[in-house]
Structure 1
Amino acid sequence: MPVGLEAWLSDIPPITRTWLIAAIGTSLAVQCHLVTPLQLYFSFKSAFLNMQPWRAITTFLYFGPLSIDFVFHLFFFMRYSRMLEESSFAGRKADYFWLLCTSASLLLLLSPLFTLPFLSSPLAFTLVYIWSRRQPAMRISLFGILTVSAPYLPIALVAISWVINGTWRAAASDLMGCVVGHAWYFGTDVMVREVGGQMPWTKTPAFVQRWFNDPAR
């Protein structure tokens, strides 16, 4: 591995780095015809009735064929996952891992409503939504063309995704990520602010904290 690339990767926090490497590796494997998207997509029948449980993981690793849309979603996933892990979840690897696990589980439950075979983009948008709601005063420049307040960032990105893909289905999948992001934000930030405690399903289990050697909270 080139020194510059190795240094760049080592600078990315561990959970984001692991997901990034796995996502790029998955797309390259498809591009090189080592696997096909048909072996990676998620459906309840394929994953659980046909005993192919890996699909519940690979659906979050495949961002599609190498294209502008692939670069768009991968860039915003890495950018906002990294910022969340380095700010709100700094020193809390277990809590960030649990955020990803619970968000992924909610997306798997919702996926039949939209018949979405791949859930990597919705999960990335979940992170974008949570980060944006925790930065209400920040202004974001999109490609040097448009400047929006952080809370409006997910909607702006959904609109851009719609334009890039030319179909509402891409926007629907990203909006589903925003819905899951709002569920997490409401269960943590809003509940703590309003009633002084977060929803039980957002609390990181003790065994996950021990796994990451994080202190109990």
Structure 2
Amino acid sequence: MQSILDAYSVMPPITRAYTTACVLTTVAVQLDFVTPFHLYFNWELIMKHGQIWRLLTSFCFFGSFGFSFVFNMIFNYRYCLMLEEGSFRGRQADFVYMFILGALFMMISAVFVHMLFLGQAFTIMLVYVWARRNPHIRMNFFHVLSFHAPYLPWVLLLFSLLLGNNVLVDFLGIACGHMYYFLEDVFPRQEGGMRILETPTILSYLFDEREPEPIAEEERPGGFDWAEAPIEE
């Protein structure tokens, strides 16, 4: 238990916040404080009945406690952590902006494909972005398959297919991850390309660490200039 608390205490803030939200949501369902019917994504209920919490809860519920929940939470924690401490180190605002954009991509898609819970697809999106930014890392899947990182999302999709799960979830995560990766990492580097996904200033103000502004010398405490003090004889 202590090792879990220690690991939790050293999590970077965005990973800790999202992981906590996922676990607490599942615990609330297990204890019957809420039901999945209060959490799923439904555009009509959001727009016509003002149930805006569904914009968040649909990303935080991974089903009841069991193998699927543990599997998804391990992947969610691992790749969210590696992104925040890797390519997004020192760029918390950019990381939050990726969360927002990925969520928007998925919600727009979910309206058309009638997907109710988006957390698993969001996890696959995190995996995809990490995998594309670490193309030379070798992966080993259950000591059966060995491959480079960019193939990992497709291996997970195949694994879902073998388990009889809805592969549309994985495909949506891959599609949203690729859209973000292309707009952020590929298009700006192409001839005639430009950076489209500029992080809003408000996010930078809220999440990025800022260096303290230097205090003018005359405003510093203890400002008596001893060098100019008169010398009494």
TM-score, normalised relative to structure 1: 0.92
Aligned-residue Cα RMSD (Å) equals 1.6
Residue 178, structure 1, aligned to residue 174, structure 2: yes
Deviation at 1:214, TM superposition (A): 4.1
2:103 is the counterpart of 1:107: no
Q: Which residue of 1 aligns with 2:92?
A: 93
Match of 2:229 in 1: none
Shift of 1:5: 2.5
Question: Do the aligned residues in 1 keep the contact of 2:91 with 2:208 (CA within 8 Å)?
Answer: no
Show the counterpart of 2:115.
116
- State whether residues 39 and 57 of structure 2, in contact with CA within 8 Å, keep that contact through their aligned partners in structure 1: yes
State how far apart, in whole Å, the 2-side matches of 1:4 and 1:153 are: 28
CA apart distance, 1:91: 0.7
Deviation at 1:158, TM superposition (A): 1.1
Measure how far apart 1:13 and its partner are: 1.1
1:72-91 paired onto structure 2 within 5 Å: 72-91=71-90
Gaps of 5+ in 2: 211-233
Sequence identity of aligned pairs in percent? Answer: 35
Assess if the C-alpha contact under 8 Å between 1:85 and 1:96 holds in 2: yes
Conservation of the 8 A alpha-carbon contact between 1:188 and 1:197 = no
Kindly indicate whether the alpha-carbon contact (under 8 Å) linking 1:94 and 1:214 is maintained by their aligned counterparts in 2. no
- Whether the aligned pair in 2 keeps the contact of 1:69 and 1:161 (CA below 8 Å) is no
Change (3 A) 1:132 1:213: closer
Instruction: Name 2:149's counterpart in structure 1.
Output: 150
Runs of 4+ in 1 over 3 A off after TM superposition: none
TM-aligned CA deviation for residue 35 of structure 1: 0.7
In structure 2, distance between residues paired with 1:92 and 1:194: 23
Q: Deviations over 1:53-101 (max 9, x none)?
A: 0001100100111122211211111111110110100011111000001
Partner of 2:45: 46
User: How many angstroms apart in 1 are the aligned matches of 2:190 and 2:177?
Assistant: 18
Match of 1:208 in 2: 203
Counterpart residue number, 1:125: 124
Higher helix share: 1
Tell me what 1:197 maps to: 194
Equivalent position amino acid for 1:16 in 2: T
Q: Which amino acid aligns with 1:212?
A: F
Output the amino acid matched with 2:16: R
